[in-house]
């Protein structure tokens, strides 16, 4: 069937935008932090353009069309489980799952409560605690307790809706890191890096009426399946292996933010 005929996948066509770089991931400071967190070389952001009006209620059609698109297939990168090299999918996607991730936060003051609740001291130092495990993560400070330990008294500091926010997800992913993550003793590197990446991925504009800044991106957490099972972001599932699609409906761009859990680049 020729492209554009009825029966095509929702009529979305994509193009790869290699010239769109994500400065937040390539600054020397971020690079050295990602190395320390064992995420360097395993995390990537890519941009694609599309040609139709994006409608959030048709997100599944949109994501399916994305994986089937001849401009996406040779360009979308993921990490090979076996070689640890960046590869392309090389398999036919049969089914997708795209979970809505709320994206409403406009300020890092969202995290101020970490100071108010004695999880982080006024000087920015993260309060230590006795070691415990929340498989596969070691919990050795109050911050990781808040992120992981549902039975801890501080867990309620962030409500369930708070935890679903893209800003929180990003922060949590950076705090938990990769397989040989060296944790920070202070909060700032996590907050700064979260802010940089968030600003790089998410689009805002000023509402002409109210003059207020509003977020115009829609975010989805994406999983794709081939005939054998999950093929993207990875056949192995892990809390720290993810792909988020951040869709700017005005510019008609989709930013793909990907990480595969493992041992990051050391040197």
- Of 227, 175, 226, 224, whose CA–CA distance to 197 is shortest? 175
Q: What is the pLDDT of residue 3?
A: 43
Q: What is the pLDDT of residue 10?
A: 59
Q: What is the pLDDT of residue 7?
A: 42
Q: How far is residue 23 from each of residues 112, 197, 202, 210, 226, measured CA to CA in Å?
A: 26, 8, 13, 31, 33
Give the start-to-end residue ranges of the domains of the chain. 14-100+218-259, 108-201
DSSP tag of 77: -
Q: What is the pLDDT of residue 81?
A: 84
pLDDT means per 10 residues, the chain with 267 residues, are 44 94 95 97 97 92 96 96 91 96 96 95 95 88 94 92 98 96 96 97 92 94 97 95 97 97 90
Model confidence, pTM:
0.94
Euclidean distance between CA atoms 145 and 155, whole angstroms: 7
DSSP tag of 260: -
């Amino acid at each position: 069937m020729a492209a554009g005929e009825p029966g095509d996948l929702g009529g979305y066509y994509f193009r790869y935008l290699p010239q769109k770089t994500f400065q937040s991931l390539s600054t020397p400071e971020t690079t050295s932090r990602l190395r320390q967190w064992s995420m360097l070389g395993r995390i990537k952001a890519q941009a694609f353009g599309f040609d139709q009006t994006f409608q959030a209620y048709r997100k599944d059609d949109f994501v399916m069309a994305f994986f089937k698109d001849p401009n996406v297939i040779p360009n979308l990168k993921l990490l090979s489980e076996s070689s640890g090299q960046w590869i392309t999918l090389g398999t036919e996607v049969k089914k997708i799952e795209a979970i809505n991730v709320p994206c409403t936060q406009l300020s890092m003051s969202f995290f101020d409560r970490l100071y108010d609740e004695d999880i982080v001291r006024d000087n920015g130092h993260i309060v230590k605690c006795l070691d415990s495990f929340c498989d596969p993560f070691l919990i050795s400070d109050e911050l990781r307790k808040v992120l992981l330990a549902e039975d801890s008294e501080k867990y309620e500091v962030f409500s369930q809706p708070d935890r679903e926010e893209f800003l929180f997800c990003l922060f949590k992913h950076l705090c938990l890191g990769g397989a040989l993550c060296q944790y920070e003793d202070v909060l700032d590197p996590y907050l700064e890096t979260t802010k940089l990446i968030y600003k790089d991925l998410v689009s805002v504009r000023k509402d002409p009426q109210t003059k207020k800044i509003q977020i115009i991106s829609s975010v989805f957490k994406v999983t794709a399946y081939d005939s054998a099972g999950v093929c993207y972001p990875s056949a192995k599932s892990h809390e720290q292996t993810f792909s988020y699609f951040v869709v700017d409906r005005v510019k008609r761009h989709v930013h793909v933010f990907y990480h595969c859990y493992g041992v990051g680049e050391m040197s």
